[in-house]
Structure 1
């Protein structure tokens, strides 16, 4: 007996089949199937041959591959009874509940009193599959590994794009070929982490941004996660995601985070724009519209808070175009450096003898919203809180310290209540519209309940203070995922304000993140994290590619630099309504010295393209820049909006240096734009309108 199910839309189809009541397996995932296609036929046709040296039936790459079925690879469940004896469940079909885009399948092992449930849905607006597994037991058990629904990938998709990184270099991508055996990434830092963004793209060697097939995955969880991408000895391949090893507590109910997945036949951009759209939908509740220009005082003053200086800086930031002022670390306890006071969330009356109200009133008088920094999950040993409650610390007393701080045990209700009361007090007694929520060290132990506790605290604050936006920061991009984005309206992509580093980080993060949630700031003339000195034009236009802000001391700006920043900020404000809803399309540049992207309006009527010259090109003349996703039959008017930046060494007369260009979408996509020559570490910005 074969039972089949189908989830799909006009862009992709997924067909599942259960044979003789066993766990379902994906027998088709790819381009949308035609109406009337026989799913039974597809299921029947999926049976593979057996040959010498094999068992007589191939163990299924099911939604949870089972040891009891002699699965030869990484099983989807590793479980023991409370005495430590390994269990090998054999699940059989129980019930199903189906609607147009949702499917719940329940399977049970009655002998072991275990129930395994798969919740499968297709997000209609974004064409992302949302897949989740849960396990229930009548008795207390120990679960070492529970995979979200496991998906196969085909043999012709022979490469993986995986993500790594470090502080100030998030979202590093690397293409890795599939090979026999398992590629395992087990992130045990307790947070999403700079080095372990929970994503994976499976593709072919020829897949680029604008063409080729891609199977993309994202595990929506802010704690440690584990990824397994395996090629079995028989050649079949599959991908698993779940919580990090050893992070699940002993209990009776276990649930994975959602795994988002999608298939694209239009290159990496086809998958990326679906993740971007889903993230835009996530942050719609409570996000400011229009998105305000951000100013953060951290790299201007660090811990040295002086009220008169902060007022002056706020006035200058407003003059440059800022609409939100964020008071960063240093306003509480006796916080003169990073060795003290985390946990003591009371205003430092040495620095603010009349409280925060005078600063907030000044900020509000300038027409700006006021925001403030917290790091709620952390504690310093030199703090009143630690002296009162050392038992609230997560992990052993002799643990290695990180950044002079320890971690609070967020699974404790008393810890969460304390934090809520102190954060809520600040919000109740001050006109605060924004929180920068930081997380500056990895955890000493890996525990899913730490993340669940943090979610609970944020959820409570969001419920009671819905007018307050929250930004997720974790030493920059150490906690960026859809789990945290369900609760926040912005992420701080990286602590690096180096515009060249930002170009690469933003470009690769756009595989999952839209502009409206991605904070990007104009940093100091000399970058505090790289030591590099970069021109204000590159710094400004780089920030203008995402949710724009400033994070420098405005007192360092020359008149010309200030004028440039005002101009770019004014341009961003004039275009932000459509840009914050636009798809970010990564462009395939034939010149590896160029990073280029195109932001296309939702209705296709306009776009902006950015082409950053990261280093000197190997050839003397710029290669044409080919655009994407335009109407081939439409005529577009192209304007090089910073044409006045062409240097004296650009001695020729490319048309865009002096005039607009009106050509077809076909020309722009097949031939591309001929741009003027320019120096490295600069950028061209082009506007396009469909006529």
Structure 2
């Protein structure tokens, strides 16, 4: 007997099948199939031949590959009973449930009392399929590894793209050739991590940003996680995602993976990117349609040196440049003069603010800006009143390595969460705080899924009681970015690097998963504090304008010219943000490796903006045409270079775009491309397009 199930979202089809009551496997995942496709035939066509040196049957690559059924690769489940004896269940079909437009497949092993439930839900608008696995047991068991539903990887693929990184260098795309054996990525730092963003894209042979097939995965979990991409001896390929191995530290009767988000594309990497962008913006994030204010953060202006007159002066200058939100960063609480003290003491420092935060907040509000405040609730300094009162609240042993002079609070404990909630809620109740920058500046001493669940519970409680307060996820920049934390926050701080050249590349690659509306990007100081590089204000401003725009520098350093340029770019961003923050970000295939370019396309396709940044010196003299994407071939567009006045003196010719707008077809713009004027490295052209 064969069971089969089909899921469709209008762009991709997923077909699951199970023979003889065994666990189901994916027999098709790819472009949408015809409605009348015979699934019995697909199941039969999926079967592999058997030859010498093999078992008499091919073990199924199921949604949870079972070691007990001779599967030759990494199993999808590793667990022990309460006494430590390994368990190897053999699951059989129990029931199918169709619920909330989704599919639930229930399997059970009567001998061990273990059950598995696989859930799938396609989204007809974002074209993302969400799936997860739940394990139930009749008695407590120790879980070492549980994979979200395991999917096959395509055969017509030569490489996989996963994501590495570091502090101030997040979202580095790593291309690894497929070969026999295992590619494993594991974050054991207790957060999604600078080093191991939980995402994977598998391109088919010949795929680029704009053309070809690609298969995308994202694991929506903010704690330690693991990814496996394995090519089996018989040539099949599997992909597994789950919590970090061993991070479930206590026995239990129920365990659940985080959601695994799946996207198929036949329009290059951009198809996966747009699906993930839309799903994050429209399904994951609460209040995604709120107008995004121009953001000002005072950290790189004052650091810990808080003086009310200086902060009021800075706020006045930021408002004059166009800022609409002022965020007071680290240093306002306890006796916080550096990073060695006071984490956990969430009370206003009376030395710095003898009248409390009221005078600063009132000044900010009088300027027409909202007010935000920095917290790092999950951490504690040993030099703090909280630690002296409750050293037992620390996660892990006391002889652990310190990180940034701090330890981690054990948020699996209800009393710890209650204390933190009370302190933060008191600040939010007593002050007109509309925004929290929620930081997480060190890794955990060991992977611990309960810590992540506790962090979620604390944020969820605060959001329920203070729904008007927006929260940004920061973890030394991009150390905690994923759909799990974005279910609870509205913005991410992508990187601590405010170097526009570095930020350009980081946010370009992050767009494979993140929409512009949640991706904070700030104009940094003239002399970048993390790279030592100095960049022109125009480059800094336009890079910030590619995402949710803000400033993070001392506005008192600006010359009259710099202030004008920044105010002009900010004014442009404000005039376009309503459609930009809902636009699809499409990465462009650049014929010049020195150029990093993207096109942001409005919903409905009526307008777009192209950012073409020259990150390095080109090998050739003349700019190569830049092909656009996502346009209607037979439609005419008016394109205009809005910053043509930035052309340098060495640009001595008169290409058409230097003189004025052009009316050309989408076919021309996508087939030949637009020829931009010559420009220096570390500068950017900004091209607006309108459908006529």
TM-score of Structure 1 vs Structure 2, range by shorter chain: over 0.9
Matched residue, 2:13 = 13
1:429 counterpart = 2:430: yes
1:298 counterpart = 2:299: yes
Note the alpha carbon deviations across 1:52-80, whole angstroms, 9 max, x for none. Answer: 11111111110000011100000000011
1:189 counterpart = 2:189: yes
Q: Please report how far the alpha carbon of residue 557 of structure 1 lies from its aligned counterpart in structure 2 after TM superposition.
A: 0.1
Matched residue, 1:609 = 610
Q: Please report how far the alpha carbon of residue 330 of structure 1 lies from its aligned counterpart in structure 2 after TM superposition.
A: 0.1
TM-score where L is the length of structure 2: 0.99
Matched residue, 2:313 = 312
Kindly indicate whether the alpha-carbon contact (under 8 Å) linking 1:283 and 1:489 is maintained by their aligned counterparts in 2.
no
SS in 1 for 2:514: coil
1:270 counterpart = 2:271: yes
Q: Distance in 2 between matches of 1:635 and 1:151?
A: 42
Q: Please report how far the alpha carbon of residue 125 of structure 1 lies from its aligned counterpart in structure 2 after TM superposition.
A: 2.2
Matched residue, 1:259 = 260
Output aligned runs, 1:121-520, within 5 Å. 121-248=121-248, 249-282=250-283, 285-287=286-288, 289-520=290-521
1:624 counterpart = 2:625: yes
SS in 2 for 1:275: helix
Q: Which sits farther off after the overlay, 196-205 or 530-539?
A: 196-205
Matched residue, 1:593 = 594
Kindly indicate whether the alpha-carbon contact (under 8 Å) linking 1:82 and 1:140 is maintained by their aligned counterparts in 2.
yes
Q: Please report how far the alpha carbon of residue 654 of structure 1 lies from its aligned counterpart in structure 2 after TM superposition.
A: 0.4
Q: Please report how far the alpha carbon of residue 287 of structure 1 lies from its aligned counterpart in structure 2 after TM superposition.
A: 4.8
Q: Distance in 2 between matches of 1:146 and 1:388?
A: 38
Matched residue, 1:536 = 537
Kindly indicate whether the alpha-carbon contact (under 8 Å) linking 2:615 and 2:681 is maintained by their aligned counterparts in 1.
yes
Note the alpha carbon deviations across 1:423-453, whole angstroms, 9 max, x for none. Answer: 0000000000000000000000111000000
Q: Distance in 1 between matches of 2:286 and 2:170?
A: 27
Q: Distance in 2 between matches of 1:282 and 1:49?
A: 42
Q: Distance in 2 between matches of 1:204 and 1:125?
A: 24
**Number of residues of Structure 1 aligned to a counterpart in Structure 2:** 691
SS in 2 for 1:170: coil
Kindly indicate whether the alpha-carbon contact (under 8 Å) linking 2:156 and 2:205 is maintained by their aligned counterparts in 1.
no
Note the alpha carbon deviations across 1:598-656, whole angstroms, 9 max, x for none. Answer: 00000100000000000110000000011001010110000000001111111111000
Is the alpha carbon distance of 1:100 and 1:401 closer, same or farther for their aligned partners in structure 2, counting shifts above 3 Å? closer
Q: Please report how far the alpha carbon of residue 283 of structure 1 lies from its aligned counterpart in structure 2 after TM superposition.
A: 5.8
Kindly indicate whether the alpha-carbon contact (under 8 Å) linking 1:286 and 1:466 is maintained by their aligned counterparts in 2.
no
Moved over 6 A (4+): none
Q: Distance in 1 between matches of 2:217 and 2:375?
A: 31
Q: Distance in 2 between matches of 1:11 and 1:100?
A: 20
Q: Distance in 2 between matches of 1:453 and 1:287?
A: 24
Note the alpha carbon deviations across 1:475-495, whole angstroms, 9 max, x for none. Answer: 000000000000000000000
Q: Distance in 2 between matches of 1:139 and 1:53?
A: 40
TM-score where L is the length of structure 1: 0.99
Matched residue, 2:79 = 79
Q: Distance in 1 between matches of 2:346 and 2:545?
A: 34
Matched residue, 2:681 = 680
Is the alpha carbon distance of 1:548 and 1:138 closer, same or farther for their aligned partners in structure 2, counting shifts above 3 Å? same
Structure 2 unaligned residues grouped into runs of 5+: none
Kindly indicate whether the alpha-carbon contact (under 8 Å) linking 2:284 and 2:483 is maintained by their aligned counterparts in 1.
no
Q: Please report how far the alpha carbon of residue 100 of structure 1 lies from its aligned counterpart in structure 2 after TM superposition.
A: 7.8
SS in 1 for 2:165: strand
Kindly indicate whether the alpha-carbon contact (under 8 Å) linking 2:628 and 2:673 is maintained by their aligned counterparts in 1.
yes
Matched residue, 1:581 = 582
Structure 1 unaligned residues grouped into runs of 5+: none
Kindly indicate whether the alpha-carbon contact (under 8 Å) linking 1:287 and 1:469 is maintained by their aligned counterparts in 2.
no
Q: Please report how far the alpha carbon of residue 139 of structure 1 lies from its aligned counterpart in structure 2 after TM superposition.
A: 1.1
SS in 1 for 2:412: coil
Q: Please report how far the alpha carbon of residue 90 of structure 1 lies from its aligned counterpart in structure 2 after TM superposition.
A: 0.4
Q: Distance in 2 between matches of 1:393 and 1:281?
A: 37
Note the alpha carbon deviations across 1:381-405, whole angstroms, 9 max, x for none. Answer: 0000000000000001100111100
